[in-house]
Amino acid sequence: MNAPPGPAQPGPRPPGHPAARSGRIGVLLLNLGTPDGTGYWPMRRYLKEFLSDRRVVEEPRWKWWPILNLIILTVRPGKRGRDYDKIWNRERNEGPLKTITRSQAEKLAAVLGGARIEVDWAMRYANPTTTERIVSLQARGCDRLLLVPLYPQYAAATTATACDQAFRALMQMRWQPAVRVAPPYYDDPVYVEAVASSMRAHLATLGFEPEALIASFHGMPQKYLELGDPYHCQCQKTSRLVREALGWPADRWHTTFQSRFGTAPWLQPYTIDTVERLAKSGVKRLAVVAPGFSADCLETLEELDMENRAVFEAHGGERFAYIPCLNDSAPGLRVIEAVVRRELMGWV
């Protein structure tokens, strides 16, 4: 009598099957995003995705949909495309945020080394998408995943929406990796010292001493703070800690908020108003830094270094300096590496 057949044995896994390789750890750097081009249609696609995000614009759909689709997406892509064109990386045909984030991931991978860790990067809006990079990491055998939003300060419109997008991707996966999310690092001593040391080095090259220094953070509607978003408080703490690390006098240090959009009140004081006020008051030498950005982008390279510079000079200012973000510099990589190594404890 023949013995009953045993359980079927699985055949070889296809290369992309998550079981083909396992036991690896994925580290995914997440940033905001950049359009795929500066023309009208790439800009329109990018702005539509960005401004349709309910974390970014917390207005009722019935109210926001006609404003967005009938007004903003008709007028704004052309203007925004011209702004992006001023800072566009023509060699790679991409925005600088994409260039820098890629380099951060590549340098982090080189530093972490080891056969178990895979480092990748993704954008919340446009490309490369969060979904495709998570799928790619799993195909490379990552059954554990560390999400690293590259926002020093937490905000629902940045950190939370980046995580939302990752969780949407995970919802579609049959075999989900174990997941961790790196917390904001707005008061991390490694981060504070990196910003301070970068500022010291840049200020030493200017050939002039600023009479005032502005720490400019991306703004948000005032009502988001009133609803409980911790962003404003974290920005203020970052600014204070960096000022103290530099030993800069409090009366010459200004914490401001930029990139206001729409007519509702946003976090104040506004950067551009402060720049104008300082120039009109007789300040001739001004430096601006953006400690809320991990990489230079439209809001720093075009808005701060071009638009705000022009306002300062138009109202009597003479010497203006924008201090670059940490980007993929050695101090910047130390910050990302410190955050990642801390959050990988127990896995590595």
Question: What is the tens place of the pLDDT at every residue in 60-111?
Answer: 999 999 999 999 999 999 999 999 999 999 999 999 999 999 999 999 999 9
Q: How confident is the model at residue 114 (pLDDT cuts 50, 70, 90)?
A: confident
Q: What are phi and psi of 321, to 5 degrees?
A: -130, 130
Average pLDDT over residues 207-217: 97
**DSSP letter assigned to residue 128:** S
pLDDT at 154 over 50: yes
Rounded to whole angstroms, what are the CA distances from 212 to 86, 169, 208, 285?
27, 45, 12, 7
**What pLDDT is attached to residue 18?**
53
User: Residue 283 and residue 279: Cα distance in Å, rounded?
Assistant: 5
| Domains within the chain, CATH numbers bracketed | 189-323 (3.40.50.1400)
Tokens representing 68? Answer: 């967005």
pLDDT at 38 over 60: yes
pLDDT at 6 over 80: no
Is 25 within 8 Å of 344 (Cβ atoms)?
Answer: yes
Report helix, strand or coil for 1: coil
Average pLDDT over residues 204-208: 96
Q: How confident is the model at residue 7 (pLDDT cuts 50, 70, 90)?
A: very low
Residue 341's CB is within 10 A of a number of other CB atoms, namely 12
pLDDT tens digits for 250-283?
Answer: 999 999 999 999 889 999 999 999 999 999 999 9
- Helices and strands in the chain, H and E counts: 12, 8
**What pLDDT is attached to residue 348?**
87
Environment class of 331 (CB within 10 Å of its CB; exposed 0-12, middle 13-18, buried 19+): middle
**What pLDDT is attached to residue 22?**
79
What residues contact 136, with CB distance under 8 A and at least 6 apart? Answer: 120
User: Residue 198 and residue 200: Cα distance in Å, rounded?
Assistant: 6
Q: How confident is the model at residue 215 (pLDDT cuts 50, 70, 90)?
A: very high
**What pLDDT is attached to residue 20?**
54
Is 271 within 8 Å of 286 (Cβ atoms)?
Answer: no
Residue-averaged pLDDT of the chain: 94
pLDDT at 186 over 60: yes
What residues contact 111, with CB distance under 8 A and at least 6 apart? Answer: 333, 337
**What pLDDT is attached to residue 113?**
73
User: Residue 82 and residue 164: Cα distance in Å, rounded?
Assistant: 30
Amino acid at 222: Q
Rounded to whole angstroms, what are the CA distances from 163 to 116, 119, 125, 280?
23, 17, 12, 43
When computed from its CA atoms, the radius of gyration of the chain, rounded to whole angstroms, is 23
Task: Indicate the pTM of the whole model.
Answer: 0.92
* Beta strand extents in 176-273 (DSSP E only): 178-181, 212-218, 253-258
pLDDT at 124 over 70: yes
**What pLDDT is attached to residue 8?**
43
